[in-house]
């Protein structure tokens, strides 16, 4: 989050001159956070709040701010994710923690890796970013992938209890 803010702030002088556009990449987990994935969802939710604030603050300069809520991506990430998740699991490998959360965490990790493997190709996502950079008028929020569209629709239409059930279903913990 801090890196993205630093880049945006560094580019503001040029954006003001060009009356440019910021396309901020987020994810559907900012709206439907998943178990064991809180820090990731929270950082993307924070970026969406900053996007809303920047959109208001930069409007007088003709700068649009768009949020692209990405879905699952095929970026070669599953192997990296699996390694990071294994490292996270080892960080608190006390017998008590493993007995409480070990099985659920392993189920989450396996499901996350399989979801990434079936997601949107990174080239398709890049094309979507370019489309957003050129689209007039700019939308406030758009989706990157069918899964993101489905999840964000569910967040708008479902009750809290239904969303809780959905988040557990997504990660195989239902």
Give the pLDDT of residue 61: 95
Question: How many CB atoms are closer than 10 A to CB 144?
Answer: 26
Angle between helices 38-58 and 2-18 (to 10 degrees): 20
The alpha helices in the chain, defined as continuous H runs, are 2-18, 38-58, 77-91, 95-117, 122-134, 146-157, 160-170
Residue 33 near residue 42, CB atoms below 8 Å: yes
Give the pLDDT of residue 158: 97
* Distance in angstroms (rounded) separating the CA atoms of residues 7 and 154: 32
* Distance in angstroms (rounded) separating the CA atoms of residues 40 and 88: 13
Give the pLDDT of residue 153: 95
Give the pLDDT of residue 86: 64
Give the pLDDT of residue 74: 73
Tokens 């560094």 correspond to 10
Q: What is the DSSP string of 32-54?
A: S--TT-HHHHHHHHHHHHHHHHH
Q: Which domains does the chain have, with CATH numbers?
A: 2-75+121-170 (3.40.50.720)
Angle between helices 77-91 and 95-117 (to 10 degrees): 170
* Distance in angstroms (rounded) separating the CA atoms of residues 74 and 43: 21
Per-residue pLDDT of the chain (174 residues; tens, 9 = 90+): 899 999 999 999 999 999 989 999 999 999 999 998 888 899 999 999 999 999 999 999 999 999 999 888 876 655 565 566 666 656 556 777 778 888 888 888 888 877 777 777 888 888 888 988 899 988 899 888 888 999 999 999 999 999 999 999 999 998
């Amino acid at each position: 989050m801090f890196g993205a803010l630093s880049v945006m702030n560094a580019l503001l002088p040029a954006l003001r001159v060009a009356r440019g556009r910021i396309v901020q990449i987020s994810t559907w987990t900012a709206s439907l956070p998943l178990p064991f994935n809180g820090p990731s969802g929270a950082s993307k939710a924070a970026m969406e709040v900053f996007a809303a604030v920047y959109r208001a603050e930069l409007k007088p300069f003709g700068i649009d701010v768009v949020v692209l809520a990405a879905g699952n991506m095929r970026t070669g990430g599953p192997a990296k994710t699996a390694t990071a998740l294994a490292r996270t699991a080892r960080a608190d490998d006390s017998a008590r923690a493993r007995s409480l959360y070990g099985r659920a965490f392993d189920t989450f990790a396996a499901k996350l890796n399989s979801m990434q493997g079936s997601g949107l190709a990174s080239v398709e996502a890049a094309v979507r970013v370019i489309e957003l950079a050129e689209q007039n008028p700019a939308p406030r929020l758009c989706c990157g992938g069918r899964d993101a569209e489905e999840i964000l629709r569910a967040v708008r239409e479902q009750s809290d209890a239904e969303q809780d059930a959905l988040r557990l279903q997504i990660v195989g913990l239902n």
